[in-house]
Amino acid sequence: MLAHSESAASIRLEHGSDRQYVAVDGGMSDNIRTALYDADYSCTIASRASSAPPALARVVGKHCESGDVIVKDEFLPSDLAAGDLLAVPSTGAYCRSMASQYNHVPRPPVVAIRDQTSRVLMRRETEDDLLALDVG
């Protein structure tokens, strides 16, 4: 999983007493495994190099639910900023099949990356996709 987006993730930082909270543009709708059975992930900044000292962070999604946690504890560069891209490797084989349209959030694309080249394997869902089954 690459920051839940074809482009740079929308990152918002909130500083707590012992960690920073990094909110990204994905969440439990595209990776429910942390909330369902306490899956444990790591992540790293993927869009640039940083020599800033590490800071303890929790990466959370955009659903405003207590279980909307992607990475529980990770040391990320303290200069992390909006627009940075986070990579979450090894999210599991069933991530896409377990994804949902929770809160009417379209599912993200599936993107393969090889030799610094990306290719969309499954396109991002659209609002039309969300409404396609509505008969009202």
Annotated catalytic residues are 64
Give the whole-angstrom CA distance, residue 61 versus residue 12: 10
- H-type helices in 11-94, by residue range? 33-37
Give the whole-angstrom CA distance, residue 42 versus residue 49: 17
**Residue 33 neighbours by CB distance under 10 Å:** 17
